[in-house]
Structure 1
Amino acid sequence: MESTQKRATIYLDPMLHKALKLKSIETSKSISALVNQAVRDALAEDAADIAAYEERIDEPMISFSEMVKRLQQDGRI
């Protein structure tokens, strides 16, 4: 673990808390470790989404109706 950690208070739905407690027991990891990993995973997914967006930023935009027409022409819908 990191040498410096910050404390935070979060409020969980009771069923989520119960699920976290059970997973904590089964995996021998603390609830804090599980929550930290979940946040890391979510932020990594956001970073990947941002990177994908930035790669495609110069692509031309098309309207929803144009997309539907293309799908129909291709026989996909």
Structure 2
Amino acid sequence: MPSDTRTTIYLKPKVYRALEVKAATTDRSLSDLVNAAVLESLREDALDLEAFDRRAKEPTQAFEKVFKKLRCGGTL
């Protein structure tokens, strides 16, 4: 198994302090918390890309046209 890669990140002081508190209260390391947050963000991106791919062939409508229909229908 490959070893972890060391890197430097810059956090706002309040973010770093909150991360330290969370690490202490959850008995996890700062690295574990940062890795988990980054992985969750990447998972969300992957889900967004999958949804985009699934809907790529759907017909599109201009925003102005949709807006006009909403106004004419009394929704707006």
TM-score, normalising length: structure 2? 0.89
Count of matched residue pairs: 76
Q: Where does the alignment leave 5 or more consecutive residues of structure 2 unmatched?
A: none
In structure 1, what is the equivalent of residue 41 of structure 2?
42
In structure 1, what is the equivalent of residue 61 of structure 2?
62
Identity fraction in percent = 39
Q: RMSD of aligned C-alpha atoms?
A: 1.6
Q: Where does the alignment leave 5 or more consecutive residues of structure 1 unmatched?
A: none
Which residue type is aligned with residue 54 of structure 1?
D
Q: What do residues 18-58 of structure 1 show as CA deviations (whole Å, max 9, x unaligned)? A: 00000001111001000000000000000000000000000
Which residue type is aligned with residue 76 of structure 1?
T
Q: Are residues 74 and 44 of structure 1, via their aligned partners in 2, closer, same or farther at CA, if it must alter by over 3 Å?
A: farther
TM-score, normalising length: structure 1? 0.88
Please give the secondary structure, in 1, of the residue aligned with 2:48: helix
